[in-house]
A and B are shown apart, each in its own frame.
Chain A
């Protein structure tokens, strides 16, 4: 069955970078699309961007250009998101989700990122 496993919670200092992972199983990763989302606890959800695993092609929400970089490793069926120059405003839960034909059908459990000195 389809599974998306996300990396564990991160505590990082302001100005630092962090790389989050989303390891998949149960489907053909190399021909799939993956999106990433940000959710500050108690708030709504923001779409960060999407990557096509087949060729690494990406599309970003303008708001997150320069902040987030999406990559994939097809050999391990894993999607990654780099977040750079972190500030307290980047403290949030980050989700990955598979886009299948018409919708996001499977979501990872989320990774909590806390930016604090």
Chain B
């Protein structure tokens, strides 16, 4: 199975600060058709995950543009440009290029 390693495991940020989360894959996530099925989800406390970014860098519907995704192959990054209070929760990267789908271990964002 593909292992996704997220760093850091915990992030503490002040309102307005910009932060980045890294997701490294044990295998390339580029498929033979040229697609990279790498996603970012936010799970707020007590809630189900919600889509932030799909296919590396595409913003999900209704997601604020302070969120952005980048990367290729095995290295990916989620950036939040100006953290807001509602951004607290656990961020997960997920890959769907290789079966089975797998998730990273999560990055918990705390607001100082």
Contacts and interface: CB of A to CB of B under 8 A. Distances in A.
A95 B48 contact: yes
A105 B60 contact: yes
The A interface, classified by DSSP as helix, strand, loop or mixed, is strand
Nearest to A45: B103
A105 B51 contact: yes
Interface residues of A, number: 19
A98 to B, nearest CB: 11
| Majority SS at the chain B contact face | loop
Contacts of A95: 48-49
A46 B103 contact: yes
Interface in B6-58: 37, 39, 47-51, 54-55, 58
Interface residues of B, number: 22
Contacts of A110: 48
A102 B48 contact: no
B76 interface: no
A63 interface: yes
A108 B60 contact: no
Nearest to A93: B48
Interface string A59-93: 10111000000000000000000000000000000
7 contacts: A44-B103, A45-B49, A61-B99, A102-B58, A103-B54, A105-B60, A109-B47
Interface of B: 37, 39, 47-51, 54-55, 58, 60-61, 92, 94, 99-106
